[in-house]
Amino acid sequence: MDTRARAFAHFKKVDTRFHKAVLPHLSALPKELASRRTRAELFASLASTVISQQLGTAAADTIRDRVKKACGGKLTPEAIKRAKPATLRAAGLSGAKLKTLQSLAEVVSTGKIDLLALAKMSQETAKSRLTEIWGVGPWSAEMFLMFALGLPDVFSPGDLGLARSIEAIYGLPKNAPREQLLEISNRWIPYRTFAALALWQARDAK
């Protein structure tokens, strides 16, 4: 049985309301979570996440492509450090995101943080190390744990898409407290990443 199937079997057992709501989207989800295997891939993924903060998918993709072009085609610490700040700003980066990418490039290139080593740490320790980087907040760290490291049990209570989906499924008022969202998500342990993927898919299918 693949991990997706195990996750949905778990949802059916512990939260039938949630299972019924997301079951139509099962086939759209991956059977296994992908993970980035090299330091270069992990850096590019985290840099892309930083660029995507508070942006829609289309805008994030456009700016990421422009930043990559400004960096010579690849998001690497060396390329970001070489690129002129004005060029990166012209590509669409805000001042804060530029500073975050520069901080990320610095801590990775100097070895202050080893992104590959995060996979061997507990989720909370890895998240703590990531949020020590200037401008990397909980959301960015959680997206990295989900999509770069491929951890199966990550939830992001600050993600508006997840919040809106949960509110719709459970009939909650808009802007329900994060503590309430976390309490609901705890039912889905140890498959909260798959639950998040299902919630995003349910939102996008509307």
**At 5, phi and psi to the nearest 5?**
-65, -40
User: Which pair of tokens denotes residue 108?
Assistant: 């990775």
Q: Where are the beta strands (DSSP E) in the chain?
A: none
User: Which pair of tokens denotes residue 80?
Assistant: 């970001």
For residue 159, indicate whether it is catalytic.
yes
User: Which pair of tokens denotes residue 63?
Assistant: 């700016």
- Rg from Cα positions in the chain: 18
Give Cα 197 distance to the centre of its chain: 11
Task: Report the SS3 class of residue 121.
Answer: coil
Q: What is the Cα–Cα distance from 177 to 184, expressed in whole angstroms?
A: 11
Q: How many residues does the chain have?
A: 206
SS3 content of the chain, % helix, strand, coil (to 5): 65, 0, 35
Is residue 68 a contact partner of residue 74, using CB atoms and an 8 Å limit?
yes
Catalytic residue among 15, 61, 153, 159: 159
Q: What is the Cα–Cα distance from 49 to 76, expressed in whole angstroms?
A: 14
What residues are annotated to the active site?
159
